[in-house]
């Protein structure tokens, strides 16, 4: 999502550098600075929506993964704790940081970039917190991945040895 957001903002400048001939007339009527401001506003609104949807999807996927690990694997409480911690991070982002960033972002959307703004300072503080939580989620995810890989390698490696083999239809002979 970070790449999508950054790329979408840079697409505004690419569009203004080589606009469609019909758009050129509209941009001239607005003026280059106002056209850029309006296009950046549209991109910002799209990014806000994208982040809200992505965070909701992460909560759903995290919950599904948690229940999968809980009921379909033999992982211990530590792995479940890591998953729940990642979900908690997304919940903090979705219900605390993102709404604050959205409201602050809308306040600064049409403020010129070189104009001093306390709201812009607050936005970047919230933005830093958001990416700090994102970094923690990545560290937890990497720790969980390492845990799952290490736990898997610790097993016998042969899935057939984890089951009681039955070789007769009437169950007379069972390998143990």
Question: Do the domain assignments include residue 98?
Answer: yes
**pLDDT per residue over 48-84, tens digit each?**
999 999 999 999 999 999 999 999 988 999 999 999 9
Q: What is the pLDDT of residue 40?
A: 94
CA 38/CA 110 separation, integer angstroms: 8
Least confident window among 27-31, 135-139, 171-175: 171-175
**pLDDT per residue over 13-24, tens digit each?**
999 999 999 999
Question: Do the domain assignments include residue 173?
Answer: no
Question: Do the domain assignments include residue 169?
Answer: no
Q: What is the pLDDT of residue 157?
A: 54
What are the residues facing 174 on neighbouring strands?
166
Q: What average pLDDT does this structure show over 119-125?
A: 96
Q: What average pLDDT does this structure show over 133-137?
A: 98
Question: Do the domain assignments include residue 121?
Answer: yes
Q: What average pLDDT does this structure show over 143-171?
A: 67
Domain total in the chain = 1
N-terminal to C-terminal alpha carbon distance within the chain:
50
Question: Do the domain assignments include residue 174?
Answer: no
Query: Could you tell me what percentage of the chain is helix, strand and coil, using 3-state DSSP and rounding each to the nearest 5?
Result: 80, 0, 20
Question: Do the domain assignments include residue 65?
Answer: yes
**Both structure tokens of 38:** 């309006």
136 close to 90: Cβ distance less than 8 angstroms: no
32-43 residues labelled b (16+ CB within 10 A) or e (exposed): eeebbbbbbeeb
Question: Do the domain assignments include residue 8?
Answer: yes
pLDDT over threshold 60, residue 105: yes
pLDDT over threshold 80, residue 174: no
Question: Do the domain assignments include residue 164?
Answer: no
65 sits in which H/E element: helix 32-72
> Which residue range is the domain that position 15 belongs to?
2-157
Q: What is the pLDDT of residue 3?
A: 92
């Amino acid at each position: 999502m970070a790449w999508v957001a950054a790329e979408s903002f840079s697409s505004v400048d690419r569009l203004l550098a080589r606009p469609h001939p019909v758009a050129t007339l509209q941009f001239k009527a607005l003026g280059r600075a106002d056209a850029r401001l309006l296009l950046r506003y549209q991109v910002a609104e799209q990014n806000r929506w994208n982040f809200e949807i992505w965070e909701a999807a992460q909560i759903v996927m995290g919950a599904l993964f948690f229940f999968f690990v809980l009921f379909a694997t033999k992982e211990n409480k530590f792995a479940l704790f890591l998953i729940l911690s990642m979900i908690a991070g997304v919940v903090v982002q979705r219900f605390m940081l993102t709404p604050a960033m959205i409201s602050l972002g809308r306040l600064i959307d049409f403020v010129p970039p070189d104009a001093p703004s306390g709201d812009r300072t607050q936005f970047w503080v919230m933005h830093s917190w958001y990416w700090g939580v994102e970094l923690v989620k990545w560290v937890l995810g990497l720790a969980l991945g390492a845990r799952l890989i290490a736990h898997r390698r610790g097993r016998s490696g042969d899935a057939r040895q984890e089951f009681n083999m039955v070789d007769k239809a009437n169950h007379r002979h069972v390998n143990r």
